[in-house]
Chain A
């Protein structure tokens, strides 16, 4: 069986080398793309993080990628969103009040409000709380690397969630069918992160493992 192709959306500013390397390590063939058709049709698609919410949305709008990503997320096809990638799935963010998000998740992104250092930089605990909306497809308890000043406080119904805490609880990640969204960086979260990416590759698509 040929190695799965992973299409990583070219964001112009994000450091994509770490994401590319992680998928290469897992035996996949990662490629950068900004082609709307490919974003709809590719086997696997990754939306990596960039500097700010507004900059990320501008780039998606400029490349006509807004509708393709929304279409893909709603179809249940494999889609991985990382860091700001998770945030732009929402409707808006305090970081860039004039920008409109993709609106796949009906929620707003807010800034951490506490006395702790911001940005949150480092490894934090991923918790899967018991309950009907607990993540069960990909996300597992562990420790993951975060680099963020803004966060999603809770996820609306319809998504399965993993939480973390920095001063107060926030959404570490969520999943729905083939969609996996991570506020942390799985590609920088050591072995645990690689296992998460592998689990997404295996379970979200047709790849046989």
Chain B
């Protein structure tokens, strides 16, 4: 039986984890490799690292961070943030990523999805979709870290991502990201019904019930960040609670 995946996400800026750690009681919580190792020990099924560096100088530390994580990590690693070319994807894979995640660049040049899938395989090609509700009450793709509302229907874009060669969709509800108010279940349902590739739900998790809801709505995996970084819970206790809710997890 294939289990549902719990995937901690490290937002990394200039080589340090930034999301939520300021309220953490963990020592050295800002080191990506140290957190990666901790989460694997807690039972994480994969790890996602998103580079949110604002400057090209910050981005240069990205490969070093990937190498440092890889040395201590023996579960899959997905790396995203500013991936704009096949060459960049290759450099990340050579440094130790197992999958690459594209966002704005894939939206602007959908052929990038095909190029990366052709070269490295569909299972290696993750497309991140950020969606927000619009005035018509439907889901719209947003890019450039939420700054740009595209007017494009997120469900239709998810279908295209699959057709272009995407192997997995990292689906973030931009309205909920960091709010800890639960995942946007309607968005998850609509996208999982539209495509046959796995969906990772992201944005808004505060507790195991939220994870259970996203899985019920069709997500193959759930991304978790703040509540882990802030030390509010562990991967292991989330999984124990999920198992008690009859969700198949690896414990």
Contact = CB atoms under 8 A, between A and B. Distances in A.
* Closest 9 A/B residue pairs (Cβ): A51-B121, A147-B123, A17-B96, A117-B198, A15-B93, A123-B250, A119-B123, A124-B2, A188-B76
Interface residues of A, number: 37
B122 to A, nearest CB: 6
B229 interface: no
Nearest to B1: A125
Given A117-B196, A119-B197, A119-B198, A15 B250 contact: no
A191 B95 contact: no
A15 B97 CA distance: 7
Given A51-B120, A119-B123, A143 B250 contact: yes
B96 A21 contact: yes
B45 A193 contact: no
Interface of A: 13, 15-18, 21-22, 25, 50-52, 116-125, 143, 145-149, 165-166, 185, 187-191, 193-194
Contact of A18 (B40, B96, B123, B197): B96
Contact of B1 (A50, A51, A124): A124
A122 B220 CA distance: 9
Interface in B110-137: 117-124
Interface stretch (B10-18, B67-75, B151-159, B172-180): B67-75
Contacts of A146: 2
Contacts of A185: 76
Contacts of B67: 17
A121 B199 CA distance: 10
Given A15-B93, A50-B121, A51-B121, A124 B3 contact: yes
Interface string B50-93: 00000000000000000100110011110000000000000001
B98 A18 contact: yes
A51 B98 contact: no
Nearest to A49: B121
Given A13-B120, A193-B74, A118 B5 contact: no
Contacts of B123: 119, 121, 147-149
A123 B45 contact: yes
Nearest to B76: A188
A122 B221 CA distance: 9
B94 interface: yes
B8 interface: no
B167 interface: yes
